[in-house]
Amino acid sequence: MTHQDNFSLKGKTAIITGSGKGIGKAIALAFAEAGANVVCVARTQADIDAVAEQASQYGVKSLAVVCDVMDESALNALVVQTLEVMGQVDILVNNAGGARPGPAMSVSGEQLTRDFEFNVTTAFNLCRIVAPHLQAQSGSIVNITSAAARYSQKNFSSYGTSKAALDHLTHLLAAEFAPTIRVNAISPGAIMTEALEQFLDEASTQAVIERTPMKAMGKPEDIANAAVFLASPAARWITGKTLEVDGGAESTPWPF
Active site residues per annotation: 159
The contacts of residue 243 (CB under 8 Å, 6+ apart) are 184, 185, 186, 187, 226, 230
